[in-house]
Structure 1
Amino acid sequence: MPQSIRDEILAVLLDRQPNYLSGEELSHKVGVSRAAIWKHMEELRAGGYEIEAKPRSGYRLVYRPDRVAPEEIYSHLQTKRFGREIQYQNHTPSTQIIAHQWAKEDAPEGAVVIADEQGDGKGRLGRVWHSPPRTGIWMSLILRPPIALQSASHLTILTSVGIKRGIERVTGLDIQIKWPNDLLIVGKKVCGVLTEIRGEQDCIHYAIIGIGMNVNTKKQDFPKEILDIATSLTIELGGDIHRATLIAAVLEELEECYERYLQEGFQTIQQEWESSAYKMNQMITVRTPQGNHTGILKGLYDTGALKLQVDQGTIAIYSAEIDIEKY
């Protein structure tokens, strides 16, 4: 998606930060008049950016707010498709709802819906996802994978691997993946993935990958009932993180995982997932609709099902929960 003039101005200011850039040079770089530059500067200031203007020196970016608006993300993004088209909402009930509608209207693969606040964020099995305003990453990615419907679980797995890579790249924190859709730090949930599919038996029309991540969420922001099982990057890191930078890193890693999966198949993604799996080769209890199973987690089957070693042998678990508070 072509950058707007405002996006281009912001990208140039970010690149030149903390130095000044003359109005003439800025006008030349983005191809608009100096009067137009002034107008866009005022728009940026209205959006919370502090831009200093000094006679005979030019403009300088002094402060940038922690926003997840497109102009912030584009200035960091190095992808071919993922995140190249973004719908941004300051507040929405759920990014999933908007993404489904956009996908039905032929949104391109890699398009993203992102919000600063969700009023009705959802997790797996209809659970509520706590989404405090301007603290986390709440976004939905539209995919159109050329794969069979029975391979849809691969999408959640490769998404978890990509998110893990992105978080570790930006923060240096050690992230573990808990099957089927959670990312953990020291046993506490920091991110969840919700994959929703529309398709038929032989193909997927589109997939919506919902990502909810606790980034700058403070302890006091969490409901008391989940304090023992949830955490955030800022709690574990001891400092706030620029969310747009993190979003760009996650989208870049996700695109690489997705392209590799389409070209090489599931095996390499599977191996990377298993190397980061929570409780790998340890005893766990999983809760399924048919009852509980206790055994040793041995990894994944090619289908994406969990491989559990029990007394009778190795069994495949297709839908289950692992209670992190028990381990």
Structure 2
Amino acid sequence: MQSELRKELLDAFTNAGEDYLSGQHLADLIGCSRTAVWKHIEELRKEGFELEAVRKKGYRIVKTPEKITANEIRLGLTTDFIGRNIHYEESVESTQKIAHRFASEEVPEGTVIIAEEQRSGKGRMNRKWYSPKYTGIWMSLILRPNIPLTKAPQLTLLTAVAVVQAIEEFTGLTPEIKWPNDILIKGKKVTGILTELQAEADRVHSIIVGIGINVNQKKEDFPAELLEIASSLYIEKGEPISRAGLIRSIFKQFETLYLLYLEQGFLPIKLLWESYAISIGKVLKARTLTNVIEGKALGITDEGVLMLEDNIGTIHHIYSADIEL
């Protein structure tokens, strides 16, 4: 109940913009006493929100905390269901692990698990994902689409488009996608996406989308072995990025694309994905578990499978591989 009142309070401040809201107006709006409103405002102050109180005018938020708490993300959030239920932790082994547990407990679709730090973050093929504290976005999103198991990988490509669009819109940078789910800026990786399934024999129970974004790391924050291949939005932009603001933008873009996907299928997502893809038309090496295939990237199929044409004209369908440009 307390968290619901806090959500309504933050929604009220979001809708008010720069305007002041009186204690009585807030009490009437969220259905509690003025004393309860004051207590909630004090709790927000403890979290790092700076609220201005002016006699006969009321309250307004003038500064938000540097952390990415659930309340900080909710302030300004415009989605209907993506990110409306947020579980926040300072430090976790992996947001994916928590998301798997939550997904089996029937939490609502759109629930997000987010942490300031992952001690054992992982990427594709169980690779370690470097997730230092207070610098990046480390989160997992729970979805429950009514789709066949075979279509689940399409959600990875959809997520890549949503993240690219959000980064582009929020920072002005120009990210590109390397199949299937790496997001690069000037050839260096800034984002990884990991999609995992909870499923029964004939249907998807839930899809858990893990998103890791290097946001405000400086060069000295990266281990030496990653400097040649990884970067951050801060390094590329030259200035700090609001992590909470970028998260809100990702949620907005994702919800729009997800609803489009559920209504119209994969085709509009496929066209968007190909427009951001760095690899289309280029010669690639695809390292699968069994062999290496070299060929020109023709695009992706209607199912999201990469097509490579080798030097004798044979077209190979790549379902899972490491890609070298």
TM > 0.5 fold call? yes
SS at match of 1:91: strand
Q: 1:248-327 residue pairs with structure 2 within 5 A?
A: 248-312=248-312, 313-323=314-324, 327=325
1:88 alignment partner in structure 2: 88
Q: Alpha-carbon deviation of 1:54?
A: 4.3
What RMSD over aligned residues (CA atoms) do the two structures have, in Å?
2.1
SS at match of 1:44: helix
The superposition leaves residues 149-200 of structure 1 with CA deviations (integer Å, 9 ceiling, x where unpaired) of 2222111111111111121121121111111221111111111110111224
1:152 alignment partner in structure 2: 152
What letter matches 1:315 in structure 2?
A: H
1:204 alignment partner in structure 2: 204
Query: 1:137–1:212: 8 Å Cα contact kept in structure 2?
Result: yes
The superposition leaves residues 46-78 of structure 1 with CA deviations (integer Å, 9 ceiling, x where unpaired) of 111222334455434332112322222222222
Q: TM-score, normalised by structure 1?
A: 0.92
Q: TM-score, normalised by structure 2?
A: 0.92
**CA 1:22/1:98 → structure 2, altered by over 3 Å: closer, same or farther?**
same
1:137 alignment partner in structure 2: 137
1:186 alignment partner in structure 2: 186
**CA 1:2/1:317 → structure 2, altered by over 3 Å: closer, same or farther?**
farther
Query: 2:65–2:72: 8 Å Cα contact kept in structure 1?
Result: no
2:64 alignment partner in structure 1: 64
**CA 1:30/1:148 → structure 2, altered by over 3 Å: closer, same or farther?**
closer
Greater Cα shift, 65-74 or 129-138: 65-74
1:125 alignment partner in structure 2: 125
**CA 1:304/1:16 → structure 2, altered by over 3 Å: closer, same or farther?**
closer
Q: Alpha-carbon deviation of 1:286?
A: 1.7
**CA 1:198/1:23 → structure 2, altered by over 3 Å: closer, same or farther?**
closer
Distance 1:57 1:131 in 2: 43
Greater Cα shift, 182-191 or 287-296: 287-296
Distance 1:248 1:151 in 2: 26
Distance 2:78 2:16 in 1: 18
**CA 1:7/1:99 → structure 2, altered by over 3 Å: closer, same or farther?**
same
Greater Cα shift, 71-80 or 210-219: 71-80
Greater Cα shift, 251-260 or 29-38: 29-38
- Greater relative contact order (CA < 8 Å, ≥ 6 in sequence): 1
What letter matches 1:105 in structure 2?
A: E
Distance 1:304 1:10 in 2: 39
Q: 1:172-183 residue pairs with structure 2 within 5 A?
A: 172-183=172-183
**How many pairs does the alignment contain?**
324
Q: Alpha-carbon deviation of 1:276?
A: 0.9
1:76 alignment partner in structure 2: 76
1:239 alignment partner in structure 2: 239
1:116 paired with 2:116, answer yes
**CA 1:30/1:149 → structure 2, altered by over 3 Å: closer, same or farther?**
closer
Greater Cα shift, 199-208 or 231-240: 199-208
What letter matches 2:183 in structure 1?
A: L
Q: Alpha-carbon deviation of 1:244?
A: 1.7
What letter matches 2:49 in structure 1?
A: Y
- What is the aligned-residue identity percentage? 48
- The unaligned stretches of length 5 or more in structure 2 are none
Query: 1:14–1:61: 8 Å Cα contact kept in structure 2?
Result: no
Q: Alpha-carbon deviation of 1:19?
A: 5.5
